[in-house]
Amino acid sequence: MSEQRSRPAAGDGVLQRRSVIAALAAAGIVGPILFTVAFVAQGSFRLDEYSPVAEVVSALEAGPGGWVQQVNFAVFGLLTVAFAVGLHLGLRPTRWGVIGPSLLVLSGMALVWAAVFPLREDAAGHTYDPGLHIVGGVTYFLSSAFGLIVVSRRLAADPRWRHLAGYALITGITAVALFLAIRVFVVAEDAPLHAWAGLAQRTVLAVLFPCTVVLALRLLRVTRAADAPR
């Protein structure tokens, strides 16, 4: 009798774990989409003072109503952390396999950092960094990119995920290359493409976000397949 009672309990534990992973996968789908919709909407309402082509997303934190973008960063950061945990749980364990998801967790924490240390606006209406926001920005882009590169090796080791390994690897490498190009040609005020800073940053996001959503959708599908009756 004791053995018969223990089996359903073990089964319930597996189902609960899969339910948690499914919820974490949903965070990876909702996060990038919600974040994008929020900053695009803000930009459209502030066109008289904000240029999506010339200014980065973080500039929305400056001035009146900047708290909305701070909340947007914080929510996206927490959803990113949740998805990274779910991805770790949904992949076949490998030696050092925790490194990739840990980098993705770091990227989520960097977004929260960007919310806690926002850009500000001076009396003349110019946006500036009090000193700590840039840490979050650099950390987010690099940890996201290198996180995907490292995770791609773990994807390649799991038959259920192998077909996405190349996509994750190329996405990570492309994001690193774009980040370095932006640092050279965009960031400095006298840089040749500085006037296109907002567009340049959004290009990197357009590379990273679809990969995150694709991985999250695959995680959800793998989890549901495991729950399907055989």
pLDDT (tens digit, 9 = 90+) per residue, 59-69? 999 988 999 99
Higher pLDDT, residue 213 or 131? 213
pLDDT given at position 67: 97
Residue 218 corresponds to which tokens in the numbers above? Answer: 């695959």
For CA atoms 191, 139, 37, 41, give the dihedral sign. Answer: negative
Average pLDDT over residues 11-31: 91
d(CA 137, CA 204): 12
- pLDDT over 70, % of the chain: 93
| Range with top average pLDDT, 42-51, 121-130, 193-202 | 193-202
In this prediction, residue 63 carries a pLDDT of 84
95-140 pLDDT, tens digit per residue, is 999 999 999 999 999 999 999 999 999 988 889 999 999 999 999 9
For the chain, the average pLDDT equals: 93
Q: State the residue for tokens 């959004």.
A: 202
**pLDDT recorded at residue 6:** 46
Of the candidates 217, 203, 205, the residue with the CA atom closest to the CA atom of residue 163 = 217
**In the numeric block, which tokens belong to residue 146?**
């290198």
Instruction: Domain of residue 168: give its range.
Output: 2-227
Specify the DSSP element, H or E, that contains 127.
strand 127-128
- Residues linked to residue 128 through DSSP beta bridges, in sequence order: 120
Domains: count for the chain:
1
Q: What is the pTM of this model?
A: 0.92
